[in-house]
């Protein structure tokens, strides 16, 4: 059965239509669709993985205080000064939270450059977007995130 409704411009709100698939309510079902475009570089829509970011702090350690101490140890004035020390991706990237047991870098790692670069990039991320044009914001929430960043190169093609 096909139904067509013609509404003249300015005629107001269209009527509410209710449709039935032909069965009783006991036959309804819910399906969970789980798929992602992120991490794929083999289709027309490409969003290959670029970078994994995640720092591991001690259980009772304030992430911001620990990284500020690390900055003082390295004679760096503040988080914004890290921009001159590291090459970071120049454009916006899409972020997704870690889904499982992805590896996090310990803040106690002897490679302080690795820790500081991750902290810089985490400070440029929200939960969903990495943006190098925003200020570096270090909060307990931003530094504790575990993110995978993707290049949206083919998404808006």
pLDDT of residue 136 exceeding 90, the answer is yes
Within a domain: residue 99?
A: yes
In the chain, how many domains are there? Answer: 1
Q: What is the pLDDT of residue 1?
A: 45
Strands 105-106 and 49-56, how do they pair?
parallel
Structural domain contains residue 59: yes
**Residue 36 within a domain:** no
Termini Cα distance of the chain: 37
Taking the C-alpha atoms of residue 154 and residue 94, their distance in angstroms, rounded to an integer, is 12
Provide the token pair at 138: 């270090």
Residue 85 lies in a domain: yes
Does residue 108 contact residue 115 with C-beta atoms inside 8 Å? no
Angstrom distances, CA of residue 61 to CA of 99, 137, 144: 24, 18, 11
pLDDT digits (tens, 9 = 90+) for 44-73: 555 566 788 999 998 788 999 999 999 999
Task: Please indicate, yes or no, if residue 73 is contained in any of the structural domains.
Answer: yes
Arithmetic mean of pLDDT over the chain: 79
Burial of 84 (0-12, 13-18, 19+ CB in 10 A): exposed
User: Residue 12 falls within a domain, yes or no?
Assistant: no
Give the confidence band of 42 by pLDDT, cuts at 50, 70, 90: low
Residue 68 belongs to domain spanning = 49-150
Higher pLDDT, 54 or 100: 54
Tokens coding 118: 């991750």
Q: Is residue 129 part of a domain?
A: yes
Would residue 44 count as lying in a domain? no
């Amino acid at each position: 059965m096909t139904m067509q409704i013609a509404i003249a411009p300015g005629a107001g709100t269209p009527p509410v239509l209710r449709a039935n698939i032909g069965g009783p309510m006991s036959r309804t079902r819910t399906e969970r669709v789980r798929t992602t475009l992120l991490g794929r570089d083999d289709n027309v829509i490409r969003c290959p993985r670029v970078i994994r970011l995640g720092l591991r702090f001690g259980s009772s350690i304030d992430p911001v205080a620990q990284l500020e101490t690390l900055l003082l140890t390295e004679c760096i004035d503040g988080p914004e000064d890290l921009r001159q020390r590291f090459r970071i991706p120049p454009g916006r990237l899409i972020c997704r939270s870690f889904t499982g047991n992805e590896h996090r870098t310990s803040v106690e790692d002897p490679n302080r450059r690795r820790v500081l670069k991750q902290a810089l990039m985490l400070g440029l991320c929200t939960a969903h977007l990495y943006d190098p044009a925003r200020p570096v914001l270090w909060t307990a929430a931003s530094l504790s995130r575990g993110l995978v960043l993707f290049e949206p190169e083919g998404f808006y093609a």
